[in-house]
Structure 1
Amino acid sequence: MRNASPASIDIVKATAPALEKHGVAITTAMYARLFENAEVAAMFDRAAQDSGEQPRRLAAAILAYARNIDRLGNLGPAVQRMVARHVETGVKAEHYPLVAAALLPAIRDVLGEDIATDAVLAAWGEAYWMLADILIAAEQDAYREAANA
């Protein structure tokens, strides 16, 4: 499992106010990029996208992660809900690079290069993969349990 460096954790925590203010714009831009892949777009509930519910939910989850990246135990129930939803919708490890490739540029698109510097995006990349590794491992366990049930 990958870990974010202490410097990256500090950067992620420092960007939490910008995420609080612009999180829905970031997740909306991220989904627009992600849904250029029709196969991925088909995995999502269009009504939740069109209503803005899914971008709001994801923005809240990213903000909670930014605020608690150094206290991941605080996120246990939220991670469990996310894992259950991902298993229900068929999310697999191979989908995570697609999300990273949509999320990181969306952060820069919305916040601009003055705030979303290369260092900020690198920190968020580390943070993303740290959480992705946790989710992927938990989802693989859940898929195994379901197969053995």
Structure 2
Amino acid sequence: MSNSLSQTTIAIVKSTGPALRKHGVAITTAMYARLFQDEAVKAMFDQAAQDSGEQPKRLAAAIIGYAENIDRLEALGGAVARMVARHVQTGVQPDHYPKVAAALLPAIRDVLGEEVATDEVLAAWAEAYQFLADILIGEEAKAYAEAA
């Protein structure tokens, strides 16, 4: 995985690690509430895992892992492989990623507040999210092709 994120973005995203550790599940719970306003997207998810809180916890752990390892993405290989497998299993497509970003970024601001989740922080997270989305989309395309 080549690292084409700017050093500024890496530093900002890493600096949000402690806040994410403290508030990660609140952020992902708020994100899913936004995301599930789209019934077609909601139908792709295991609602039992939502209701139990398992899925918000899982996503929060993934986001924290990404934030804390963004300067050494090779450490995330296993997590990326698991996400790709799960995404292919549930039919995730490239056009789903912007919907998640549109739910995640406001959720970060809602939970952390504007003093922590400044425009600069949200811009860094938008860049970091897109970078990871591009990796996942590429790996998922290969997996879909192999399955076909």
Same fold flag (TM > 0.5): yes
Partners of 2:48 and 2:55 in 1: how far apart? 9
2:37 matches 1:25: no
Partners of 1:3 and 1:42 in 2: how far apart? 34
- Residue 142 of structure 1 and its aligned partner are, at CA, apart by 0.2
**Cα displacement string for residues 31-87 of structure 1 (whole angstroms, at most 9, x for unaligned residues):** 000000000000000000000000000000000000001101000011000000000
- Residue 4 of structure 1 and its aligned partner are, at CA, apart by 2.3
Hey, what does 1:82 align to over in structure 2?
Answer: 83
Hey, what does 1:62 align to over in structure 2?
Answer: 63
Hey, what does 1:146 align to over in structure 2?
Answer: 147
Give the counterpart letter for 1:24 in structure 2. V
Give the counterpart letter for 2:30 in structure 1. A
Aligned residues: 147
Secondary structure at 2:124 match in 1: helix
Normalised to the residue count of structure 1, the TM-score between the two structures is: 0.97
Secondary structure at 1:44 match in 2: coil
**Cα displacement string for residues 76-115 of structure 1 (whole angstroms, at most 9, x for unaligned residues):** 0110000000000000000000000000000000000000
2:14 matches 1:13: yes
Partners of 1:2 and 1:116 in 2: how far apart? 24
Normalised to the residue count of structure 2, the TM-score between the two structures is: 0.97
Partners of 2:3 and 2:100 in 1: how far apart? 17
Q: Is there any run of 5+ residues in structure 2 with no aligned partner, and where?
A: none
Cα root mean square deviation, aligned: 1.1
Secondary structure at 2:31 match in 1: helix
Q: Is there any run of 5+ residues in structure 1 with no aligned partner, and where?
A: none
**4+ runs deviating over 6 angstroms:** none
Partners of 2:134 and 2:47 in 1: how far apart? 27
